[in-house]
Amino acid sequence: MARRRRLVLAGWAALLVACAALYPSLRSDLSAPDYRVSGADSTRAAQLLERYFPDAGSEQDVLVFYSPTLMARQPSFRAVVQRTLSLMARQREVSGVVGPYQRGGLQVSRDGHAAIAALGVSGDARELFSHAGQLQALAARSQSRSVQVWLTGYSPIARDLMGIENRDIERAELIGVPIALVILLLAFGSLAAAVLPLLGAGAGLLLTYGVLAILARAFRFDVLLLTIVTMIGVGIGIDYALFIVSRFREQLALAAPSEQGRDDHVARSVAVAIATSGQMVMFSGMIVALSLASLFVLDAPIFREIAVGAVVVVVCTLLAALTLLPATLAWLGPRVNRGSLSGRLQPADARAASERPAGWWARWAETVMRHPLLAACGSAAVLLVLTVPVAGLRTGINLDFSALHASPAGRAAQTLSSSFTAGALSPIEVLVLAAPGHPLPHLSRVQERQLAASLSGDSRVAALSVERRGQGILATVVPAVSIDSEGATALVGRLRQELAPRIRALTGATVLVGGTTAQFVDLSHETDDKLPLVLALVLSLSLVLLLIVFRSVVLPLKAALMNVLATGATMGMVVFVFQHGHGEHLLGFTTPGFIQVYLPLSVFALLFGLSMDYEVFLIGRMRESWRQTYDNRLAVSSGLEHTGRPISAAAAIMVAVFGSFITANVLEIKQFGFALAVAIALDATLVRLVLVPSLMRVLGSVNWWLPGSSRRAEEAAPRA
């Protein structure tokens, strides 16, 4: 990379220009988050509903008409309704329209100022997302000065949320990136060096967008993925570049260029940086990618999309760190120290060996190792206490209507909730189908009334309608509560456990409960069922890779145990804050009483991989010292001395970047940002600065034990 730096830099420039050109197509190919589970009842219900009841379409949206001055039965109000419905009916993607005056006035609010119409929309998830924007524009165009018209439903809500999330990302970057630059400047003591990690992270992220734009031709990606990819890309991109640049500057300061040719000295410094820190970056990235790839075992598109996006961003970040960054360092050479701060603010590793003072980090390591058991037990106790709230973890899906208050879909949802019922946004669908070739036995009117009465007596049910067609019966249950509430989830449970078996007994037919809320329930079950498998995969894959990296049995086991503790403590904090509601006013949210269903598994896989970053760098540097001295105590203090400053800087940057997302208006982004920021803070303080040196001291030379190895074999190994 150093010798062919001009070719590498030119190639990257062309590649990034192409990726920038592809970015708009990626944005246009995004769709709403897909909460379906392959083979689940709700997924089968959606597929069969489109076949047997085509008027309902792939998605049922709602047109909301509202006027503060006119009544829904007045001619001018009705004229707006008729004009809108006529316009909608002419659209190819609209499979059916049911107006507010077609059911005896049941779709007009009690105060008479609002009316709703049901809209069936056809298409796959990506098309529905695109159609939502077009239909929202038509609704806005058809309204009058007196009557407002809004479209709401799952895809319109997701589309409006995308706009809010984009603004959240931009605001977070405006907060996090300048803070990261200041921290980098203090860490490197040089403006030129401080800018490099930001440029490297930006290049890796832009390459990721380009790759995802190409993959989007064959795979479906949702709007949430872009947020997650941006958070991961910025965080690890800065992280990886920071360690490589630190090692390059350290190596550059070891010998004066006058002792050898400048180009050879710079190239050799680049080579050493990549052979040491670069190698650790590669292994660290592999652990992150493998951890996140474990999400593929879940039969749910949303987890697979997160896995694909996360793996792509890790690979692209590694490519930038291992090709673009070394070529840039070779091009800069000693100019990497341009814009240097005063001597006292320079890191010790960037100075010549004769000018380096005794390090604070080495003294800290010695302090911890004087009382290793006390330090280890104390920090482990803190992490265990923070983990306690995980025992009460509850999951669900929160669509976060509060963030949508100013958007068209959000205003429509608010009108639905106040003038009709919140559940009208997306009713629960009970589909009854006879087996092929067998007529469906009709429910008697008495039996039908009994079933209706059993549901109407439920306070969670606002309305019930039954439609018969050919081989099927569709019972539409409108909840009296929001579709993402615990009440709606409980209603789905009752329909599946009580109503569905009764209908099967009466008719002998297939009974499926579908709808958006049913999809949420099925996703929760899938997550709970696959949790042990994901945990086992993440732990086993990480242990194998760490065994290869560290050439030790004890160190991988210790690293896995510490990461489980840190991740458990992080999730405990997330539950304490976002489920129990402590800090609602401070962070600006209202707790739904649960955590987003995909957050625990996604965060576990991501945090386990990210926390391994510091373990790999820290233990890798300790192992270098061990192979030179075979003095465990010296290896621990030396490793912490060389990596303490960059690890602390990297952690501070990650906390700043991830923590900036807590300012988001969308709750799920707040949760992700909070979880990642807390995890990195705990990992870089309690784990890396206390647990690691104390346990390394307690275990002594056992740390480096590997069956079949010997000291002679270690001595014969090549040294970095």
- CA distance between the termini of the chain: 19
Tokens of 344: 């006292």
User: Quick one: which of 696, 4, 681, 691 has its CA closest to 331?
Assistant: 4
* Domains of the chain, first to last: 5-25+159-395+521-716 (1.20.1640.10), 54-152 (3.30.70), 427-514 (3.30.70.100)
Instruction: Give the Cα separation of 438 and 449 in Å (integer).
Output: 24
pLDDT confidence of residue 720: 33
Question: Half-sphere exposure (CA, 13 Å, Cβ side) for 264?
Answer: 7
Those residues with Cβ within 8 angstroms of residue 656's Cβ, 6 or more apart along the chain or in another chain: 175, 176, 179, 180, 183
pLDDT confidence of residue 678: 92
Q: Do the beta carbons of residue 719 and residue 628 sit within 8 Å?
A: yes
Instruction: Give the Cα separation of 289 and 609 in Å (integer).
Output: 7
Tokens of 556: 């991988």
The ranges of the chain with pLDDT < 50 are: 104-105, 352-357, 710-720
pLDDT confidence of residue 449: 67
Residues facing 479 on adjacent strands:
461
Instruction: Give the Cα separation of 716 and 275 in Å (integer).
Output: 18
How many CB atoms are located within 10 Å of the residue 678 CB?
23
Instruction: Give the Cα separation of 475 and 456 in Å (integer).
Output: 13
Tokens of 290: 């493998």
Instruction: Give the Cα separation of 698 and 376 in Å (integer).
Output: 9
Q: 3-class secondary structure for 558-606? A: HHHHHHHHHHHHHHHHHHHHHHCCCCHHHHCCCCCCCEECCHHHHHHHH
Instruction: Give the Cα separation of 71 and 65 in Å (integer).
Output: 11
Residue 332 DSSP symbol: H
Residue 4 DSSP symbol: T
Its pTM stands at 0.82
pLDDT confidence of residue 674: 93
Residue with tokens 């100019």: 335
